[in-house]
Structure 1
Amino acid sequence: MNQDNRYVICMKWGSKYPAEYVNRLYNMVKRHLTLDFQMVCLTDDTTGINPDIKCYPIPELNLPANLPERGWKKLTTFKPELYDLKGTALFLDIDIVIVDNIDCFFTYNAKHEDSVVIIRDWKKPWRMVGNSSVYRFKIGQNTYPKLLTYFEQNFEKIRQEVRHEQAFLSNYLREHHHLEYWDSSWCVSFKYHCLQKIPLAYFIPPKKPSGAKIIVFHGEINPPDAITGGGGKWYRHVLPSEWIKAAWQ
């Protein structure tokens, strides 16, 4: 495998999101990425997924059974050998919406070879925690050889210290490798940056921030809610977004 390969990787497990989300993500990437790439989905169910997307099983993690879901599975993207994949990978959550060209996520020149480039958390940026909805890393090159081993061997301690995989990942990378952040205008939160404040939210639909390339949906609102309106808490009233409807297909 060529180390210059580019991959766009997503992950789907369980029944929360249907295959439609994966297929729409692939369509958006094709429209907004001019560079050659291979789309990869790590999943427990390939039913309905576009055959142009290369699917692999989600690697197993050596963790206690019946854990509450915190996205720990995402950490398996850092396996030193992940099937036959080798090159540069951009991980995207399947519920994001791409609204502009994303070549920059591959052409961004990181300061260090082992840097992971990630979204800087919007709510509490001083914590320096990354939001793992969009992150770029070296795949299948043994760049982060001990990350998963450390996580599995110290899981009970880690789960007492952090709530989810992105906090562990951010802390580990800052200590053992390098963590960099995307330009703050590239990846924006739908609920923090697009929704109007109450009471304006009842009269003015969500806006697309200038310079935004990827809209991240986290919490209770998903792309279908943004399209039809609704889905938010009372203090995050959601009117229909025609621009999300145009992009999410």
Structure 2
Amino acid sequence: MTNFYCLKWGTKYNRLYVNRLFKSLKKHYNNPFNFTCLTDNSTGIDPDIKIESIPDDFSEFPRTQIFTSEKMCYFDRYKHIPGPKAWFDLDILIQNNITDLVDRKKNKVTYIWNYWRNDEAAKINYGYMTTPINSSFVSWQDDVGFDMYERLVRNKEKAFFTYPSYDKYLFYQEHRKNNLDFWEQGIVYNYNIGCKYPDDLNPTEYRSDYKICLFNTSHKKWAKPNETHVELHEAKGWALDMWSSYDRI
């Protein structure tokens, strides 16, 4: 049995994000699955979604350090569950079938590489801890990834002092040791930026052959003039139509 997860806290993303993600997986994943939402407020969430508490393994540190460190806790909390697993950020739009991606055999945890960014940016902007890694759609199996959780626990004081986000921690610690895998190009693109640097950087364009579209807006502070910063619930046209269509599943 496959297991899918999402994380929801606060008020930025409402129940629609959770329910539509769940329905989109019903459409775009072929095999039986469980869907679990880790949240502090389950009001209005589809009753077929399992509700669990948000991990508090690193609650002694401010959330502004290794932001979304809760994601690392998936590898500990669910290490005993066999089979394929994936987590999804709420601000994504699944637009094509992802069965083959999730069901691949994995020896390492698979993350998104930001192909829409210059790979040299991490070197050029080293002092700003730029990262080409994105953890909006991540897949693994069995107890793969538990070793990463253990390393963070052992070095948590130094790690939480140093890194402001989970993705940056991954890039500067786990990636340089060759501990991660990444989805190949052509799987994920960014609604607000594009899909491939430097050849295809047209925001808001629909790429029908891609599997997943991201709507994250973390680039706002340093966005280029042509880049947008639209949240999924603010989108118009094709994106809104597709997202809303999942209500009917």
What TM-score do you get using the length of structure 1 for normalisation?
0.76
Partner of 2:113: 120
Structure 1 pair 144–119 and aligned structure 2 pair: CA distance change class (3 A): closer
| Secondary structure of 1:247 counterpart | helix
1:1-249 superposed matches below 5 A: 5-68=1-64, 70-79=67-76, 81-82=77-78, 85-110=81-106, 113=107, 115-121=108-114, 122-126=116-120, 127=122, 129-139=132-142, 141=143, 143-174=144-175, 178-193=179-194, 206-219=204-217, 220-227=229-236, 242-249=237-244
**Are 1:97 and 1:248, in contact at CA under 8 Å, matched by a contact in 2?**
yes
Give structure 2 stretches of 5+ with no counterpart.
123-130, 196-201, 218-228, 245-249
Helix, strand or coil: the match of 1:193? coil
What residue in structure 1 maps to residue 225 of structure 2?
none
Secondary structure of the 2:98 match is coil
> Can you list the C-alpha shifts for 1:10-69, whole angstroms capped at 9, x where unaligned?
111112111111001011111111222111111122111101111111221234354327
**Aligned 8 A contact 1:25 1:97 in 2:** yes
Indicate conservation of the 8 Å contact 1:10/1:93, yes or no.
yes
Please tell me the residue identity of whatever aligns with 1:118: Y
Cα offset for 1:104?
A: 2.4
**Take 1:171 and 1:104, find their aligned partners in 2: how far apart are those partners?**
29
Structure 1 unaligned spans of 5+: 195-200, 228-241
Letter in 2 for 1:166: D
Maintained 8 Å contact 2:96/2:210: yes
Relative to structure 1, the CA distance from residue 152 to residue 124 in structure 2 (aligned partners, 3 Å threshold; closer, same or farther) is farther
Q: Which amino acid aligns with 1:225?
A: E
The answer for the alignment partner of 1:232 in structure 2 is none
- Percentage identity across paired residues of the two chains: 26
Q: CA deviation at 1:210?
A: 4.5
Instruction: Tell me the SS of whatever aligns to 1:132.
Output: strand
8 Å Cα contact 1:9-1:39 kept in structure 2: yes
Letter in 2 for 1:208: Y
Structure 1 contact 63–152 (Cα < 8 Å) conserved: no
Q: SS of the counterpart of 1:90?
A: strand
> What secondary structure, in the 3-state scheme, does the structure 2 residue paired with 1:34 have?
coil
Query: Alignment partner of 2:193: what SS?
Result: helix
Number of corresponding residues: 216
Aligned-residue CA RMSD (Å): 2.6
Match for 2:158: what amino acid? Answer: K
Contact 1:131/1:166 (<8 A) preserved: yes
